[in-house]
Amino acid sequence: MTFFTEENLELAHEIIGRYPKQRSAMIPLLHLAQEQAGWVTEEAMKQIGGLIGTSSAEVLGTCSFYEMFKRHEVGRYVVNICTTMSCALMGAEELLEHAETRLGIKAGSTTSDGLFTLEGAECQAACTEAPCLQVNYRHKYRVTLSDFDHLIDELADPKNEGTPRHGVLAQIRQHIPTERSVGAMHPESVNAPPVWIEEQKEANS
């Protein structure tokens, strides 16, 4: 039942405390689990269910809907090549084919050294910088075939520390200082307007 490290467990409780209903912490906790292990394990889903008061089946139900959650081991670097219209118009297909040849794998699989998982991906909101790709959800813009080779060489270098491994998203966490926090209230425990609102005027406006 104990998947989370002590530090992450503390963080998990902090995250749950920010929401009026604890189930809302589901996706943030799945991200935290993926950050810890690189993918979402069954133990993680069990513990998340326990933490937010639901079954591990419910956690699996949510987890399996979202593409970023991997329920099996993936490479240290997940390389997503955008193949939607703007990138396709600018040569994404060629880039993806080149990537498959360079890495020696088909899109959707992982290199045998466990370093790279290659995926054909959908629009990454960098359409003016096509073709683009993401390494662990960090963008690379206007990627030429030689840029790609260079990128792979760089990432494969064991000394490279520029890109955190798969699972790590934002490296700065939100922290709400206790003395400044208003605190989350269960919706059923609130039935009056917030103090700065005068209800009478509100109703008339």
Partner 1 sequence: MTERGIPIPHAPGFIANKTPRIVTSRFDYEDSFTIARYEETGGYQGLRTALSRTPEAVHGEVRDASLLGRGGAGFPAGVKWGFCPPGVWPRYLVVNGDESEPGTYKDRLLMELDPHQLIEGCLIACYAIGLSQCFLYVRGEMAVAQERIAQALNEAYEAGYIGKNILGTEFSVDIVLHWGAGAYVVGEETALIESLEGNRGMPRLKPPYFPASIGLYGQPTIVNNVETLSNLPWILSNGFEAFKAIGTETSPGTRMVAVSGHVKRPGVYEIVNGTTTFRDLIYGETMCGGIRNDAALKAFVPGGGSAPWFTADQLDLPFEASQVGPEGSMLGSGAIMVMDETTDIPAAALTLTKFYAHESCGKCVPCREGGTWLEQIMRRIVNGSGTKRDLDLLIEVGETICPGDFPHASNKEKGLSAVPFPYKMTTICFVGPSAFAPVHSALTLFKEEFEAKVAGNSDRNYVEVTISA
Which run of H or of E encompasses 42? helix 42-52
Query: E strands of 43-148, at which residues?
Result: 77-82, 116-121, 133-135, 138-140
**Binding status of residue 23 toward partner 1 by CB under 8 A:** yes
**Binding status of residue 97 toward partner 1 by CB under 8 A:** no
Q: Which of 120, 111, 67, 117 is nearest to 92 (CA)?
A: 120
Residue 3 has what DSSP assignment? -
**Binding status of residue 146 toward partner 1 by CB under 8 A:** no
Question: Cα–Cα–Cα angle for 149, 126, 117, nearest 5°?
Answer: 40
| Residue 113 vs 141, nearer CB to partner 1 | 141
Site string for partner 1, 60-89 (x = CB under 8 A): -xx--xxxxx----------x--xxxx-xx
**Binding status of residue 37 toward partner 1 by CB under 8 A:** no
**Binding status of residue 56 toward partner 1 by CB under 8 A:** no
Assign 117 to helix, strand or coil.
Answer: strand
> Smallest gap, in angstroms, from Cβ of residue 204 to partner 1?
9
**Binding status of residue 53 toward partner 1 by CB under 8 A:** no
> Smallest gap, in angstroms, from Cβ of residue 112 to partner 1?
26
